[in-house]
Amino acid sequence: MILSYSIDFSALEKCVKRLNPKVALITFAPGLFGARAQVVEALERLGVKPIVSAIPSYGTCDLHLSEMSAVQADVVINIGHHWQGPEIGRVCFVNVEFMFNVANETSALLEGLRGLNISRVAVLTISSYMSLTKELVKALEESGISVARPRGIAGHWEYEVLGCNYLPAYTTGPVDAQVFIGNSRFHAIGLYLSTERKTLMFDPESMSLLDIKDEAEKALRASLLRISVASTKNKFGIVLGLKEGQLNPEKTRLLSERLIAHGKNVQLISALELTPESLDRFPDIEAFVETACPRIPMTDTGFRRPVLSYPEGLGLLRLLNGKDVGNPYRMAVMY
Ligand code: SF4
């Protein structure tokens, strides 16, 4: 059960001390706008004028730098994502963690793993569950379950994965199962599809341990269907995402050239947000491939024509070349 969340105010204070802003643009991860009053108050106490963006930030890839200059702010304060690498633009990341009653979570996880006869696991998570994850790892080891240590992604914590980067899971060696701590089905499904290894999602809120295989294979079937339908189309929109960390002109160019070589008609499109409504402005286009984020086609079910992510776009090219598509998500880093 979530008790509360904890905002890393020390990171906020360090940011203000280091960059000495007069005006700060605050961006929130989806679901964290409820922290607005606390963050605004903290900034005002530090003598900084806050401007709150109504547009969510979806990750360390989504910096809002153009918005920062449009509103004449000196920094962006990104609430809800974690980054500990070299400074990116004038963006400060302030992590937010969910707090739990660890004793309850520990016994639920231990009971679930013992019931499945699992004795060696890899544990992976996202930044908002990091403190809980460290507590759970300690408790698992003290209870005789061996935990493989992953190598972290540069700029991120040891157990942390991103929806487009599952590299840590590739560094743990053989395990009976990998356990994703958190309630993001997208990340758990991505972890399974990326590694094709037994993946359990431990949701600390409901304290349930779920084998994600069935849901992941359903997502894979939907992905293969999108690719297959797209392969029959002639008019393609290749979408270049404009968010700073999602800007992939080389990949857009590669897809475009290869599709043209297969006789397809290609329209290049740029978009900050890719939604069913934004694609409705292109009624003549029969299928789209976006190079912004693998999450878009997987989690947005409202698209009325096939929309493929970049890994699926590569799968489409394999299919057009007469090859087996396989699992387009079987890779550590998707971008
Ligand atoms: S999965 Fe998408 S939103 Fe998340 S970090 Fe990667 S590109 Fe950004």
Check which CATH number belongs to the domain holding 85 and give it. 3.40.50.11840
One domain, residues 112 and 194: yes
- The answer to whether position 325 is within a domain reads no
Those residues with Cβ within 8 angstroms of residue 19's Cβ, 6 or more apart along the chain or in another chain = 74, 75, 90, 92
One domain, residues 224 and 253: yes
Q: How many of the other CB atoms lie within 10 Å of CB of 118?
A: 19
Q: What is the pLDDT of residue 2?
A: 63
Q: What is the CATH number of the domain that holds 192?
A: 3.40.50.11850
Encode pLDDT of 111-156 as tens digits.
999 999 999 999 999 999 999 999 999 999 999 999 999 999 999 9
Pocket of ligand 1 (CB under 6 A): 58-59, 61, 162-164, 246, 293-295
One domain, residues 80 and 127: no
- The answer to whether position 326 is within a domain reads no
Mutate to test the pocket of ligand 1, among 61, 191, 299 (most ligand atoms within 8 A of CB): 61
Q: Is the pLDDT of residue 64 over 60?
A: yes
Q: Is the pLDDT of residue 334 over 90?
A: no
Atom 6 of ligand 1, nearest CA residue: 164
Confidence of residue 1 (pLDDT cuts 50, 70, 90): low
One domain, residues 110 and 89: no
One domain, residues 118 and 35: no
Q: Is the pLDDT of residue 3 over 90?
A: no
One domain, residues 258 and 315: yes
CA of 335 from ligand 1 middle (Å) equals 9
Mean pLDDT of 251-270: 98
- The answer to whether position 71 is within a domain reads yes
CA of 165 from ligand 1 middle (Å) equals 8
Nearest-angstrom CA–CA distance, 40 and 17: 17
One domain, residues 27 and 91: yes
One domain, residues 192 and 243: no
Domain stops at, among 48, 69, 96: 96
- The answer to whether position 315 is within a domain reads yes
CA of 258 from ligand 1 middle (Å) equals 25
- The answer to whether position 330 is within a domain reads no
Nearest-angstrom CA–CA distance, 69 and 206: 42
CA of 7 from ligand 1 middle (Å) equals 21
Can you give the residue range of the structural domain that contains 107?
100-211
One domain, residues 19 and 60: yes
One domain, residues 225 and 207: no
Atom 7 of ligand 1, nearest CA residue: 293
- The answer to whether position 290 is within a domain reads yes
- The answer to whether position 2 is within a domain reads no
Strands 199-203, 208-211: pairing is: antiparallel
Q: What is the CATH number of the domain that holds 231?
A: 3.40.50.11860
Q: Count of alpha carbons within 13 Å of 96, Cβ hemisphere only?
A: 22
Reference 27, options 72, 70, 65, 1; nearest CA is: 65
Domain stops at, among 147, 182, 211: 211
Mutate to test the pocket of ligand 1, among 167, 246, 251 (most ligand atoms within 8 A of CB): 246
CA of 8 from ligand 1 middle (Å) equals 22
Give the chain's domain count.
3
Reference 110, options 130, 88, 140; nearest CA is: 140
- The answer to whether position 309 is within a domain reads yes
One domain, residues 139 and 167: yes
Atom 2 of ligand 1, nearest CA residue: 293
Q: Is the pLDDT of residue 38 over 80?
A: yes
Domain stops at, among 76, 96, 116: 96
CA of 62 from ligand 1 middle (Å) equals 8
